């Protein structure tokens, strides 16, 4: 039999922490043949990324390997000196990370970064590498490769940057590539384009791929086989259809059950009286523009046209209603959210509970109390220098001014409301998991008993089981408080489970608003149909 491109046998890995030894990987066995895609799934903390770093030989100082072998072809990577590993990385084994913004150097042009790989590992001259880089960018579907080579990372979209990273990974025709959540930060249409590109390059090169993801539906689309990790243990391996269609292990069954399914509605439809109620909030012709030239720029003739974020958007949300907002990156979803919360200047009008709001100056304390937002990344929205109790105390001090004992009791209630122990008030954000941090962000939003909560991609970075728990929490809070949600997401399977109506945005315009049943029956706008066609079919 042909030697697998990658073989891992009996491999174990520990991390030495102040709290003791953490067993990250325990007796792992897997093999990937040339031309095969192995999907690796499991919850956050299951060991998926630790396994990828072990293969790349890029472990932190507190890591301890406890036996086992990692073979690239017939070469044992664990037995190689660091200098030999540096020669192998990029040439024989590559990696594509979740966020291309963090894997590209912001101070170097995209062309220099791509050419550097070709010069180092294929021995090309700078001129040869530059020409080859342009050809690689054309191969990964980027328009104007010469122009893209001259751009810096901040001048490219998320999808364009991910294509550049993929071009880097395939540039030296490696034997194996590791993909660590490569489409998590992308909208469904861009993600589908990236996956189609991956499939084409995979077929052309015959590279072996380890595809790490928490999106089971996506893995079922791209992988030949799948392996399931749980607390560092490999609990199940096999063909995708067998593992997802008839899982043997209880943990795999729980993962499959947590995958959003549009046909499994989680909310009751609004009653006739609720559906006929006056809107709680209504955007009326709301427009947002970025890059307005200053008076000095206009004086010197540098009056460039502004970028349109929203173009005369009109949308309403009734009391207690969940309205989903979908669309690809750059469609204006988050721009609308920021306008509604006063984070973006806007023209037009917002009517809240019958009161007109024509600008940020009209958003008084009562408005800011009633309208709250939860952001996508709790790591960037929670102050790392403050304890959880201090974070939750901030809105209470702004709006309620409770005495010390009452404030502490309220913080404990907020934590218990989002199913966290009251003792978490003494912890810092870095001491919590991703799902726990998002629960703290939810608790902060509900500290003022808001009537409208805007959820901006709040589950996109969470694995399926944690996502399911967060959605269950949001729906429970809605039942208890009657809260309305504006739920922004690129997960159409999820939004069809929980939304009463779904609004579709495209390049700043609101192109269609449908109730959930009509959306599932068949949208009418061509763009909406293209969104639905790009969604992976749920597994199980």
**What ranges do the domains of the chain cover?**
6-258, 278-534
Average pLDDT on 487-503 reads: 93
- Spatial neighbors of 525 by CB under 8 A, at least 6 apart, are 504, 511, 512
Q: Return the structure tokens found at 407.
A: 């404030």
Structure-block tokens of residue 20: 């003791």
The helix (run of H) or strand (run of E) holding residue 467 is helix 464-481
User: How many residues in the chain?
Assistant: 540
Tell me the mean pLDDT in the region 228-236: 95
CB atoms within 10 A of CB 412: 18
CB atoms within 10 A of CB 228: 25
Q: pLDDT grade, residue 298 (50/70/90)?
A: low
Q: Are 38 and 28 in contact (CB under 8 A)?
A: no
To which residue do tokens 């020409």 refer?
131
Report percent pLDDT > 70 for the chain.
96
Task: Looking at the structure, give the CATH architecture of the domain made up of residues 6-258.
Answer: 3-Layer(aba) Sandwich (3.40)
pLDDT of residue 292: 65
Using DSSP bridges, classify how beta strands 225-230 and 37-41 pair: parallel, antiparallel or unpaired: parallel
Distances in whole angstroms, Cα of residue 26 to Cα of each of 4, 31, 51, 254: 21, 16, 11, 21
Q: What is the pLDDT of residue 80?
A: 95
Q: What is the DSSP string of 3-21?
A: PPSEEEEEEEEEEEETTEE
Query: Within 10 Å of residue 520's Cβ, how many Cβ atoms?
Result: 16
pLDDT above 90 for 108: yes
CA 39 to chain centre: 18
Say whether 278-534 and 6-258 share the same fold. yes
Whether 152 contacts 162, CB under 8 Å: no
Mean pLDDT, residues 143-159 taken together: 88
Q: How far is CA 532 from CA 257, 395, 487, 511, in A?
A: 22, 39, 17, 15
Report pLDDT digits (tens) over 118-137: 998 889 999 999 999 999 99
DSSP per residue over 61-100, as a string? TTEEE-S-EEEETTEEGGGS-HHHHHHHBTTTEEEE-S-H
What pLDDT, on the 0 to 100 scale, is given for residue 101? 78
SS3 506: strand
Cβ-in-10-Å burial (0-12, 13-18, 19+) of 315 comes to buried
| Contact predicate 173/197, CB 8 Å | no
What is the DSSP secondary structure assignment for residue 293, as one 8-state letter?
A: P
Dist. CA 133–CA 113, nearest whole Å: 10
pLDDT score at 523: 80
The CB-based long-range contact list for 255-259 (8 Å cut-off, 24+ gap) reads: 255/41, 255/42, 255/43, 255/216, 255/228, 255/464, 255/465, 256/216, 256/539, 256/540, 257/540, 258/464, 258/465, 258/467, 258/468, 259/216, 259/217, 259/464, 259/493, 259/538, 259/539, 259/540
Check if the beta carbon of residue 166 is closer than 8 Å to that of residue 201.
Answer: yes
Q: What is the pLDDT of residues 336-376, one digit of tens each?
A: 999 999 999 999 999 999 999 999 999 999 999 999 999 98
Q: Report the percentage of the chain scoring pLDDT > 90.
A: 63
Confidence category of residue 443, pLDDT binned at 50, 70, 90:
very high
Output the pLDDT for position 302: 63
Sequence-separated (6 or more) residues with CB below 8 Å from residue 52:
95, 178, 180, 210, 212
Q: For the chain, what is the mean pLDDT? A: 90
Alpha-carbon distance of 166 to 172, in angstroms, equals 11
Let me know: does 500 contact 316? Beta carbons within 8 Å.
no
Q: For the structural domain made of 278-534, what CATH number should be given?
A: 3.40.50.300
- The runs of H, that is alpha helices, within 89-206 are 100-103, 110-122, 126-139, 145-150, 158-171, 188-205
Least confident range from 135-144, 335-344, 480-489: namely 135-144
Strand order in the sheet with 281-290: 307-317, 281-290, 347-352, 355-357
Give, in degrees to the nearest 5, the angle at Cα 271 between 266 and 276. 125
Structure tokens at 317: 């949300």
Mean pLDDT of 532-536: 83
Whether 377 shows a pLDDT value over 90: the answer reads: no
- Are 157 and 188 contacting, i.e. CB atoms less than 8 angstroms apart? no
């Amino acid at each position: 039999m042909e030697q697998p491109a990658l073989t891992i046998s009996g491999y174990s890995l520990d991390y030495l922490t102040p709290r003791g030894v953490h067993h990250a990987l325990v007796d792992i066995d897997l093999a990937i043949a040339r031309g095969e895609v192995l999907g690796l799934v499991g919850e956050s903390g299951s060991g998926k990324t630790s396994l990828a770093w072990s293969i790349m030989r890029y472990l932190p100082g507190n890591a301890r390997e406890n036996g086992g072998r990692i073979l690239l072809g017939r070469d044992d990577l664990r037995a190689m000196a660091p200098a030999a590993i540096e020669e192998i990385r990029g040439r024989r084994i590559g990696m594509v990370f979740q966020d291309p913004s963090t894997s590209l150097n912001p101070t170097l042009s995209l062309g220099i970064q791509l050419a550097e790989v070709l010069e180092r590992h294929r021995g090309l001259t700078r001129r040869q590498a530059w020409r080859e880089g342009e050809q690689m960018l054309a191969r990964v579907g980027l328009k104007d490769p010469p122009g893209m080579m001259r751009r810096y990372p901040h001048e490219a979209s998320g999808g364009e940057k991910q294509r550049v990273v993929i071009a880097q990974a395939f540039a030296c025709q490696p034997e194996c590539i590791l993909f660590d959540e490569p489409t998590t930060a992308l909208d469904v249409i861009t993600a589908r384009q990236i996956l189609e590109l991956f499939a084409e390059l995979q077929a052309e090169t015959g590279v072996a791929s380890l595809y790490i993801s928490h999106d089971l539906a996506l893995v079922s689309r791209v992988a030949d086989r799948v392996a399931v990790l749980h607390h560092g243990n490999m609990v199940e391996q096999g063909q995708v259809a067998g593992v997802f269609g008839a899982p043997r292990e209880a943990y795999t069954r729980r993962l499959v059950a947590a995958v959003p399914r549009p046909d499994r509605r989680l909310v009751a439809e609004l009653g006739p009286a609720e559906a006929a109620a006056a809107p709680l909030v209504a955007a009326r012709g709301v427009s947002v523009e970025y890059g307005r030239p200053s008076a000095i720029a206009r004086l010197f003739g540098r009056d460039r046209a502004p970028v349109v974020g929203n173009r005369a958007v009109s949308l309403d949300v009734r009391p207690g209603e969940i309205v989903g907002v979908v669309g690809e990156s750059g469609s204006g979803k988050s721009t609308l959210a920021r306008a509604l919360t006063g984070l973006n200047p806007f023209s037009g009008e917002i009517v809240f509970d019958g009161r007109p709001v024509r600008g940020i100056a009209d958003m008084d304390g009562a408005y800011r109390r009633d309208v709250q937002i939860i952001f996508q990344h709790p790591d960037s929205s929670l102050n790392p220098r403050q304890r959880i109790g201090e974070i939750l105390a901030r809105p209470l001090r702004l709006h309620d001014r409770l005495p010390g004992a009452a404030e502490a009791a309220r913080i404990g209630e907020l934590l218990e409301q989002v199913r966290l122990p009251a003792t978490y008030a003494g912890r810092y954000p870095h001491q919590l998991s991703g799902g726990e941090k998002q629960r703290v962000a939810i608790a902060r939003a509900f500290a003022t008993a808001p009537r409208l909560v805007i959820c901006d991609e709040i589950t996109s970075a969470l694995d399926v089981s944690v996502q399911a728990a967060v959605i269950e929490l949001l729906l429970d809070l809605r039942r208890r408080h009657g809260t309305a949600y504006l739920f922004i997401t690129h997960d159409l399977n999820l939004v069809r489970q929980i939304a009463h109506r779904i609004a579709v945005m495209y390049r700043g315009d609101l192109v269609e608003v449908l109730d959930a049943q009509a959306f599932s029956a068949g949208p009418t706008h061509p763009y909406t149909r293209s969104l639905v066609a790009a969604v992976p079919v749920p597994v199980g």
